[in-house]
Chain A
Amino acid sequence: MITKEEVERIAKLARLELTEKETEKMQKDLSDILDYFDLLKKAPKSEKASSQKPGICTRKDEVVAQSREVAEKLVAASPDKEDSYIKVKSIL
């Protein structure tokens, strides 16, 4: 069973606000699922990690220009903006 403190630590890393009730339920659900994940300990060792087929996922690192119209729409979709900028709370 993972601890309540651990759930709270992960929630903070994940940038999630959880209510007291959610934290409690999360503790139980995560514990059940993580216990199930332990099945992998039985799996044979393999040197070869695999994601998708290598070779098809590479491209040149290049900037593809987006049309101004789309760019404006993207900015317009943000909750808080000024001119053509997205506004955030001050960080420093």
Chain B
Amino acid sequence: MELTELTIKQCHEGLKNKKFSSRDLTLAYLENIKKKDKELHAFLTVTEDLAISQAIRADERIALSRAEGQDFPMLCGIPCAIKDNILVEGQKCTNASKILENYVASYDATCVKKLKEQGVIILGKTNLDEFAFGSSTENSAFGVTKNPHDKTRVAGGSSGGSAAAVAANMACFTLGTDTGCSIRTPASFCGIVGLKPTYGAVSRYGLTASASSLDQMGPMAKNVEDCKIVFKAISGKDKMDATSADYKLEESEVKLKGIKIGVPKEYFGKGLDPEVEKIIRNAIKKAEDQGAEIVEINLSSSEYALACYYIIQTSEASANLARFDGIRYGRSENGKDLLDVYLNSRGVGFGSETKRRIMLGTYSLSSGYYDAYYKKAQEVRGLIRQDFEKAFSPSNDGVDLIFCPVTPFPAFKIGEKMNDPLSMYLADIYTVSVNLAGLPALSLPAGKIGKLPVGLQIIGNQFQENKILSCASELEKIIDKNV
């Protein structure tokens, strides 16, 4: 087995038993990146010098722990990569945007700080749709990330670089962010495990804000156990993010036997690829075979979720992106007065999808349209949240988890949806409700259509990551993800 195929746990054991050093691991990954990334383009920056110096320090720390007969942190010496909308001090953070092409981060994001404290190795920064606006990484100003399973197809987005890096063994794990689909869709398209945590479970300090009431960072990894290890490392209260929750993952084992799984009928209607449906139904059957009770549920406001999401997302994004003004950071274009500097810097610096979203958000928030769009969307958000509250309610004989597809179709061809923004948005139809309701959800590889992986989406109630991870781990052992 190649070093780069090992999971976090296996790497940790190998480091502990002196089978290899963190430097060996790091060099193996850097070699893989050199070999594969020219074609795949998962990385925007490879931080080779940083990685090697971190590896030397990790090896020292491991040797010292060994000498003292102590254990070292699980992530010490493990090579990872970070989505390029998350700050790593001293490294570029471009957000895949021309407006931040040369921007260098002044401090570490809280989750990066936590990972560094454990002694991780940072191999580089991964590609994304500009400001995380998209489902395919085609909106990156620096070029698309290709799907390692079929290079004519997208890796999904917006955390496409993070997903492809894990799938092609160019990082042991990665961090992604999820505002509407952005961890789960690329995880599904690339055949890896991705967890979008509960809103507030992971601090967002040091993440470039896309839509603040929806954004969440999370782990992307080779298997469920690795996701859990990383989630444990990055979650918890942070005084720098007022929305972060004082939350510690409980670690009791939850078995599929005896739990109740809801299957929302709205997620299996028109538009779902029959091949995807077959794989998802098969995964549900496997859970049933293990003793889970399967019930059909209604999430009756589902049909409004996508419109609701795109109004709220674009409204919040239009406000958040006001900070890119050519004054405080990033690209600045000349102008005769201050307004001109704004107009020119933003006009040249932003790509077309970013402009489209700023325009949509500005429209929805503008006088005369606010009630019909933004206010209405907030009301509908309440309905969507109520649907889930009802579905999970113990007093209502509710379910433990919800199983459904991540996307209606597997990875699509590069370019296929680029001229029709609405058709791209429709890729998010099964994922956005989770963000609107602030719930945790995971994408688990459940099978393949030809070469193309398909993920099962497992949704839990707020702060029930343990239930999701526990059941996903059991299911992972009995599902053949290659069929």
Contact = CB atoms under 8 A, between A and B. Distances in A.
Contacts of A42: 304
Contacts, number: 155
B376 A43 contact: yes
Interface string A44-88: 111111111100111100001000001001101111100000101
B438 interface: yes
B338 A89 contact: yes
B350 interface: yes
Interface stretch (B68-76, B166-174, B341-349): B341-349
Given A40-B376, A52-B438, A10 B342 contact: no
A17 B326 CA distance: 13
B315 to A, nearest CB: 11
Contacts of B379: 43, 45-50
Q: Is the interface of A mostly helix, strand, loop or mixed?
A: loop
B307 A40 contact: yes
B9 to A, nearest CB: 32
A80 to B, nearest CB: 7
Contacts of A16: 343, 346-347, 350, 355, 358-359
A91 interface: yes
Interface residues of A, number: 53
A44 to B, nearest CB: 7
B449 interface: no
A7 B301 CA distance: 31
B304 A40 contact: yes
B260 interface: no
Contacts of A17: 343-344, 346-348
Given A70-B106, A89-B335, A89-B341, A10 B359 contact: yes
A6 to B, nearest CB: 8
Nearest to B421: A29
B380 interface: yes
Contacts of A78: 327-329
A30 B359 contact: yes
Contacts of A37: 307, 310-311, 373
B352 A86 contact: no
Given A50-B381, A51-B378, A86-B327, A80 B332 contact: yes
6 contacts: A10-B366, A15-B339, A16-B350, A17-B347, A26-B359, A50-B382
Interface of A: 7, 10-11, 13-19, 22, 25-26, 29-30, 32-34, 36-37, 39-53, 56-59, 64, 70, 73-74, 76-80, 86, 88-91
